[in-house]
Structure 1
């Protein structure tokens, strides 16, 4: 008979199988990735806050997406750096639950925020004359709050299944803590958590996909119709919507890579863990570049502020 663990529980993260002498190199690699995430997203938020011409619904939602990206990266990368540099694998129960909660919130909030952004782009292109009447400040903030509340509630329910679960193991077979990796240590099966987790994941992913697909089908139809009369209208619509669509596709590709890697037994544990880390690093690192390069207004504002800064220094 397996004996349940006594409180306080301290877990041991399996982590990566790091070859001797490669720890410091991997530490600096993770540190560089974290700096890129912080710097890129920090610049985007700072420019949007400073430039009043960017205080528009699309860029307000970009700020919410930045907060979401920073939540995911900060939940994982600092502890991963400690693992590489000092071999630190131990994590207490509360920090483990907190890390898992943040990682899952990141995964769901990204989708809900992108769903809200799709609605904003739909109104902007398909009903431009009534855009400001529809996307009022109150409605904008309510939409963003709804995206966060939905994500937090769904994940709170997911982690509520941990309350009465007895754990009989201490080694988490992952690089970071997640709902499934912790419940794998339970003394007995947890079918309700499995059913809820799968249902929630499927419902959110499918629901957001339908919202975005519907929005872009309508946007494409409206752009083609308007473009017949004025080609610049169609060009502007594509420029406005491209960053959002690229970011959504990027997240979906990152998620798909993780799912596919889990389905092939030939893929080693280190490779699977590496893919799961990429999901935390790549989108947050690339998103600022996507919005900075593709969004004409944001790109112009970044260039203006940096040019002004250089001129003041000289």
Structure 2
């Protein structure tokens, strides 16, 4: 029996357990949500790429955020929409692993990118005279390369450790595929996987949260020392926007990770937090950064004006 289950390439997801009447509105909501995320992130992406005046370190780093959001959303939404429309809860093992891989790339990448953006703001506000030297094109590309290469390496090792283990179950206790839910299919010693997974989370949180905490403390000190009220207000507004995005993602992400290790947590609450962590940041990021950043907002409006009223 174990052999037949292990050799099976089809997995079953727990799903949302919605009635047929509720599934269609939920699917429509999911489709509209995905379209909104893709549209807003493509607008942000296109606006930065098409305008040379935005080819500055802050916006080049910001460019990575919509790319990362599109990766995460595309890994999640098509599967959810398919499940809601056709009431199918089965998924091929290789598809499940691929989905989980890109979802983890998105989650880790979001933290790394926001940390790089916080560092950029720290240099701009606390070391303005050295900004162009520290954040030159070469260093910005090094930061971006470090963000993506370290992200891909960490997640690749995570899934190499997972794929070496034999499976003897086929039911996933989640609405989408991720490393913790795939580990629950394994009937072997997963100590190494658990240690590595917790270690990567711990190191990522300590390094990134520590860096962000340090940069914002320094930024606050610099702002209160600055005699210009306009400069202080602009700096605090920029940092507050960045901090809100980071805190929303951190709270949802950490709750989802913790929920797998707490038996008393409601599975419905785990489903909600897991899906919310994949939906809210990609939806809010382009809206917050697009509306709050005057330069991006102005360029985006001019772009749409040219489309509607071509001359």
Please classify the TM superposition score into its range, dividing by the shorter chain length: over 0.9
* Counterpart-to-counterpart distance in 2, 1:11 and 1:268: 22
Distance 1:260 1:102 in 2: 20
2:285 to 279, 284, 287: 287
Q: What's 1:22 paired with?
A: 22
Tell me, in whole angstroms, the C-alpha distance in 2 between the residues paired with 1:151 and 1:36.
26
Which residue does the alignment assign to 2:68? 68
Q: Give per-residue Cα distances to partners, 1:5-29, cap 9 Å, x unaligned.
A: 4545211112111113222211111
- Matched residues in 2 for 1:98 and 1:26: separation? 24
Verify: 1:88 aligned to 2:76, yes or no.
no
Distance 2:110 2:57 in 1: 17
Match of 1:276 among 270, 274, 277: 274
Partner residue, 1:154: 154
Quick one: structure 1 residues 248 and 26, their matched pair in 2 at CA, closer, same or farther if it must change by over 3 Å?
same
**Distance in 1 of aligned mates of 2:250 and 2:115:** 13
Measured in 1, the distance between the counterparts of 2:55 and 2:271 equals 39
Q: SS state of the match for residue 297, structure 1?
A: helix
Corresponding position of 2:45: 45
Aligned length: 311
Residue 264 and residue 175 in structure 1: after superposition, are their counterparts in 2 closer, same or farther (change >3 A)?
same
Give the match for residue 235 of structure 2.
237
Q: Give 5+ residue unaligned stretches, structure 1.
A: none
Tell me how far 1:298 sits from its aligned partner.
Answer: 1.1
Match of 1:97 in 2: 97
Give TM-score scaled by structure 1 length: 0.93
Offset of residue 83 of structure 1 = 0.3
Task: Structure 2: give runs of 5+ residues left out of the alignment.
Answer: none
Query: RMSD value over aligned CA atoms?
Result: 2.0
Q: Partners of 1:305 and 1:178 in 2: how far apart?
A: 38
The answer to which of 156-165 and 191-200 deviates more is 156-165
User: Residue 85 of structure 1: CA displacement?
Assistant: 0.4
1:113-124 alignment, distance < 5 Å = 113-124=113-124
Q: CA deviation at 1:265?
A: 5.7
By how many angstroms is 1:266 displaced? Answer: 6.2
Aligned partner of 2:185 in structure 1 is 185
Q: Which residue of 1 aligns with 2:139?
A: 139
Deviations 1:70-110 (A, max 9, x none): 11111011011000001122211211111111111111111
